[in-house]
């Protein structure tokens, strides 16, 4: 029997961090978000992300490397990055529900 891991979630989608890289979404879905913290600043004893690169990634293994990155942006702070990440991922996974 496979051991199922419990991941931290944001708006019902998994959120996994590895170093300065954060993945948002299910790897089994057609798209996932990759966020890379490119710079941070000290706030007391904490390091807070000050610049975050957000990329919408196509998870299809048959897609060429050039076509993997669908959208890319740089945001100031993790809150702004998570905000755009959720919008992009929701739209990519539900193209019929776009306004």
Cα–Cα distance measured from residue 49 to residue 46, given in angstroms and rounded to the nearest whole number: 10
- pLDDT tens per residue across all 99 residues of the chain: 344 567 798 998 999 999 999 999 999 999 999 999 999 999 899 888 999 999 999 999 998 888 999 999 999 999 999 999 999 999 999 877 655
Does 3 fall in a domain?
A: no
Does 99 fall in a domain?
A: no
Does 4 fall in a domain?
A: no
Q: Which residues constitute the domain of residue 81? A: 9-93
Does 1 fall in a domain?
A: no
């Amino acid at each position: 029997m496979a051991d199922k891991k419990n991941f931290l979630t944001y708006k019902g989608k998994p959120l996994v961090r590895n170093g300065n890289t954060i993945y948002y979404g299910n790897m089994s879905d057609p798209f996932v978000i990759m966020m890379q913290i490119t710079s941070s600043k000290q706030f007391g004893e904490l390091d807070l992300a000050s610049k975050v690169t957000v990329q919408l990634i196509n998870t299809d293994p048959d897609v060429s490397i050039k076509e993997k990155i669908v959208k890319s942006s740089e945001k100031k702070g993790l809150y702004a990055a998570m905000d755009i990440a959720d919008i992009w991922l929701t739209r990519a996974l539900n193209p019929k529900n776009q306004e």
